[in-house]
Every structure is written in structure tokens, then in C-alpha cells.
Amino acid sequence: MVCLKINCPTYYMFIQEEKNELDIKDLWKRVLAELQITINPSSYNMFFGNTYPEKIENNEITLICLNGFVKENIEKKFFSLVQESVNRIGKGTFKISFTIKDRLKEQQEPAKAGPLFENMPSQQTPRSATSVSKESYTKSNLTPKFTFETYIMGKNNQLAFAIASAVAQNPGKVYNPFFLYAGVGLGKTHLIHAIGNRILEEKPGLKVIYTTGESFTNELIESIKSGRGGGRYTSNDFRDKFRKADVLLIDDIQFIAGKETTQEEFFHTFNALYMTQKQIVITSDRPPKDFKKIEERITSRFESGITADIQAPDEEMRSAILRKKRDENQDAVSNNVLDFIAEKIDTNVRELEGAYLQVLTYAKAFGGDVSVETAAKALGQKIKSETNKAINLNQILKTVCNYYSVKTADIKGPRRNKELVIPRQITMYLIQELTKTPLVSIGEFLGGRDHTTIMHGVGKIEKDILNQDKMREDVINIRKELSA
């Protein structure tokens, strides 16, 4: 046996660094195993599914988090659990710190714990161009430009983005069905297309079908008409198209409300796909429990998987969206102008981008640079017209009733059923907020109610808007419909 002695400091340093790297990986895997038992699965997947160790030096451990949202929640909610587990398993006292870094694909070694954030695409690392054929896009009905890479993620849509990424990575295996709801112009259509495009890119052998609730209904009607008239598109063709899909993406499912035949066909299509573990993704403008004219057997299936929502973007997020659009188009617009637009337009992404285009068009028409003053002039009429738009009491009442699928006579009537109380109080709140009608007059309009009842209803909604995301979202959506 020959003994080889190496007196090279660099060699020993390399060995020690490699040992430390292996030690920290092994330690973290054992910590994750404990946390997985202690923490509920959804929280574990969300906050630890893509958190990994970077280094250990002098009993100081650095952990890498996906983003600030994950880092903040681990530090606030789970730090003591992590600290206790690390000290026990590592048999010592360790100082733990968290940092944020983008994780390049070739460096990824995600925790083998759950699919939610595993292999989630980095927004900083663009993917190579896809080789998906035009024929595939035509058959699937997808829009190629809507991808994960062109989707801006923030606190308002982070969970939805993470679930969508996991669904695209393993269609039919996790989070099935996936029900996504959001108000108008908040990005749900972009995200559902992104799922389909990623699947087409990575699993070209799968049959992906995108449709809307309206198109599904119209195709069904056409198949029934053709069947009766001897046309080419039969009911069997219709069923083969949807029931033999590997991935079915249905946008704006609320359109099938009140359509009994469409709901019957959709119910059987859903069951056929679900029983064969095919991926189903559905979007709507409201959560399943708020549907009034869709059968319970259908809404219960929506809720059998995972549900996520997209909230309205905050001002920082709106600025980020505008900066991305500016950079993509290479427009000569300063950050100050974009921040001004983001401050003034707080409804949804669609109107935000429309306002940006309006400012650019105004500047080109009248010449000169795009300044804050130019933007103010361009948006001044829009802001003024929206503020001063005349809205009468009947419009508000009708819009609220349509949103909640209740009758105007019931809102004005004496019944105090649970399903009527909230729409009635929101009507009181919006009338007072948008028209400044006296409380006594509002009471008379709503069936002769006392002004103290109106005062209570308005106060209740004002409080709920501050404390309940669902109430705030409903009021925002109703106001959008009124402004439209």
C-alpha cells in the first residue's frame, strides 16, 4: 500500500469547502423532513418548497429564498421552528440568516417536498424560443405571446403564479382541477394561456384545448343544430374534441350560468377528464361559492381541487408593469411619468396599459417629450369624465343585482335572507358613495327603510371593505361594471 501525502493548502481548502457544502445540504434535508410533518402542506410547499441552503461558515447558515414574500413569511411565522430544528439536528447553536437570490435552472436542486414552487421559472431567466408549430397553436386555440416569462409576478398574484407553474410542470398530477378567479383585466387569461403554452413547449405530444365558456356554449349549440339538420359538426365531434383532451383550459366559465343544456354537457365532460386524470383549468370572475345559476354538483367539483385568486395590483406593481411595457417597446418615457400613471389608474392592468398608450398618443399628436405634465393633460379628461360620470340609483341597484344574481324586487322587499343582506347593504353603500344621496332618500328608494338601517348598512360595508378581501374585491368589481 502506498501512502500519498499532499501538502497543498488549496487542496485541503477545497476538501473542507466540499465537506461543508455536503454537510449543509444533508442538514437541510433533515430539517425539511421535520418541517414537513409540523407545518400544513400548503404552507410548507409555498414557503419551503424552493428554499435551499447556500453555505455554512462558523456555525452561521445562509438560506436562499425565492423572493421577499417567502423570506418575510418564514422569518415572521416559522423562524423559531427552523432554528429549533437546525440546532437539534446539527447538535449545536447556529445563527440563521435568509437572503434572496434568483436561482438559475442549471443550479437548481429544489427541496423534494412538494410541487408548488419546484422548477418554477425565474422571471429573471428567459427561456429559449419554443419550437411549437403553428398547427399546434391553431388546434389548441392558444395565444403564443401569453407566457410565464411575460407575466409579471407580485404579491397580488404570487400564489396563482406558483400553482399555475406547478400545473404546467406536471399536468394532471397535482392541483386538479385548478380554479382561478379574478376581476376584469387582472391577468387570469394571460395565466391560463401561459399554462397551455408551457405544456405545448415541454410536452408536445399532449392534446391541449383552450376555450371560453361562451365558445363552449356556442359549439354545443352548433353541434345540436348540425345533428338535427344533418350538418358536418355532430355531437360526437363536439364530445371527442373536449373529452379526449389531455389538458382542458376553460376561460370565463361564468358564462354557462343559467344554461341547463350547456351545464349538463360540461358536467359530463368534466367527469370524463377528471376520472382519467386529465388536467382541467378553469377561470372565472368570482369564486365557485358565489355562483347562483350554476348547479351545485358543478361548483362542488370546482372546489374539489385548488382555488386561487388574483387581487388588483398595488401601485409598485403597476409601476413595474408599465416599466416592462416601456422597455419592451423601447419608448422614451421616464420613470416619473410611469409612476404618475400608476398612481392615477388603480383599476386593472388592461386600463393601466390603455392609459399608457393614451399618454403616448397624446404626446405624439401635440409634439414634445412625454412628461408628467403631458401625462396629466392626456389623462385629465379620462379621470374627470370617470369622476363626474352620472350614475343613477337604478343603475347601481341593477348592477348589484346582476352581480349577485338576485332580483331587484327582493332587494327592495322585506325579506332578510342571508343571500340578500350583503347585496342590499352594498347597494346602500354604493348609492351613498357614488351619488351622495341623503340616507332618508336611500331608505325610501329601497322599500321605505329607516335611515338608521341605511346608516348601519353603509357602515358595515365600509368596515368589511377594510377587513375582508372578498368584500373589497366584490365592491371593486361592481364599480368597474358601473364605470363600463
SS (H, E, C) 125-149: CCCCCCCCCHHHHHHHCCCCCCCCC
Find the mean pLDDT for residues 442-446: 91
Give residue 69's domain range.
9-102
pLDDT of residue 472: 84
- Tell whether the torsion through CA atoms of 218, 287, 483 and 445 is positive or negative: positive
User: With 50 as the cut, is the pLDDT of residue 103 above it?
Assistant: no
60-65 and 95-100 beta bridge pairing: parallel
Evaluated on CA atoms 376, 379, 381, 385, the torsion sign reads: negative
User: Nearest-5° angle of CA 123, CA 128, CA 131?
Assistant: 130
What cell does 18 get?
466540499
The CATH number of whichever domain residue 286 belongs to comes to 3.40.50.300
Q: Please enumerate in sequence order all residues whose Cβ is within 8 A of that of 434, keeping only pairs 6 or more positions apart, or say none.
A: 391, 396, 479, 482
Helix axes 418-435, 469-483, angle to 10 degrees: 60
User: Does any domain span residue 266?
Assistant: yes
Within this chain, do residues 357 and 422 fall inside the same structural domain, yes or no? no
Say how far apart CA 426 and CA 484 lie, in whole Å: 18
Q: What angle do CA 215, 217, 221 make, to 5 degrees?
A: 115
Are 478 and 400 in contact by the 8 Å Cβ rule? The answer is yes
- Per-residue cell: 332: 422614451
d(CA 75, CA 80): 8
How do residues 406-419 score in pLDDT, each as one tens digit? 999 999 998 888 88
Band (315; pLDDT cuts 50, 70, 90):
confident
Domain-embedded: residue 108 = no
Of 162, 131, 140, 165, the C-alpha closest to 246 is 140
Do 192 and 319 lie in a common domain? no
248/250 Cα distance (integer angstroms): 6
Count of beta carbons in the 10 Å neighbourhood of residue 201: 18
**Which whole number is the average pLDDT over 22-28?**
77
* Lookup result for grid cell 425539511: 32
Residues 247 and 341 in one domain: no
**2 within domain boundaries:** no
Residue 389 pLDDT: 53
In a domain, 119, yes or no: no
d(Cα 245, Cα 210) in Å, to the nearest integer?
Answer: 10
Looking at residue 484, its pLDDT comes to: 66
Q: Which long-range contacts (CB under 8 A, 24 or more apart) does 272-276 make?
A: 272/243, 273/242, 273/243, 273/245, 273/248, 274/176, 274/177, 274/301
Closest CA to 220 of 272, 276, 259, 192: 259
At residue 41, the pLDDT reads 62
Q: Which residue has the higher pLDDT, 167 or 6?
A: 167
Q: What's the CATH code of the domain at 358?
A: 1.10.8.60
Say whether both 157 and 298 belong to one domain: yes
Please name the residue that has the C-alpha cell 396563482.
Answer: 160
pLDDT value, residue 150: 85
Residues 95, 171: one domain?
A: no
Closest-CA residue to 242 (of 283, 277, 213, 270): 270
Segments in 74-182 forming alpha helices (H): 79-90, 134-140, 158-169
Residue 399: which CATH number? 1.10.1750.10
Q: Are 285 and 154 part of one and the same domain? A: yes
18's enclosing H/E stretch is helix 9-38
Query: What's the pLDDT at 17?
Result: 40
Query: What does the alpha-carbon distance between residue 426 and residue 232 come to, in Å, rounded to a whole number?
Result: 49
Note the pLDDT tens digit of each residue in 115-148. 444 444 444 444 444 456 667 767 888 988 899 8
Highest mean pLDDT among 69-78, 100-109, 136-145, 176-185: 176-185
Pairing of strands 60-65, 52-57: antiparallel
Q: Which of 323, 355, 388 is the last residue of a domain?
A: 388
Amino acid 398 reads K
Q: Which of 365, 388, 411 is the last residue of a domain?
A: 388
Residues 29-34: what's their mean pLDDT? 84
Q: ∠ CA(266), CA(267), CA(271), 5° rounding?
A: 115
Same domain, 33 and 178: no
Does a structural domain hold residue 427? yes
Say if 465 falls within a structural domain.
yes
Q: Are residues 289 and 237 in the same domain?
A: yes
Q: For residues 213-232, give the mean pLDDT.
A: 78
Amino acid at 29: K
**Torsions phi, psi for 51 (to 5 deg):** -95, 130
Band of residue 390 on the pLDDT scale cut at 50, 70, 90: low
In a domain, 284, yes or no: yes
Number of domains present in the structure of the chain: 4
Write down the pLDDT at residue 106.
Answer: 33
- pLDDT for residue 113 is more than 60: no
Q: Give the span between the Cα atoms of 406 and 46, in whole angstroms.
A: 38
The yes-or-no verdict on residue 433 having pLDDT over 50 is yes
Taking 80 as the threshold, does the pLDDT of residue 466 lie above it? no
Q: Is residue 123 part of a domain?
A: no
Whether 210 and 352 map to the same domain: the answer is: no
Given a cut of 50, whether residue 72 has pLDDT beyond it is yes
- Kindly tell me if the per-residue pLDDT of 442 is higher than 60: yes
Domain end: 279, 310, 341, which one?
Answer: 310
Give residue 234's pLDDT: 61
The whole-number average pLDDT for the span 217-243 is 77
Kindly state whether residues 21 and 39 are assigned to the same domain.
Answer: yes
What's residue 281's pLDDT? 97
**Pair (222, 171) in one structural domain:** yes
Radius of gyration of the chain (CA): 27
Shared domain for 180 and 282, answered yes or no, is: yes
| Confidence grade of residue 40 (pLDDT, cut at 50, 70, 90) | low
Q: What is the CATH number for 13?
A: 3.30.300.180
Contacts of 419 (CB under 8 A, 6+ apart): 404, 406
Average pLDDT, the chain: 81
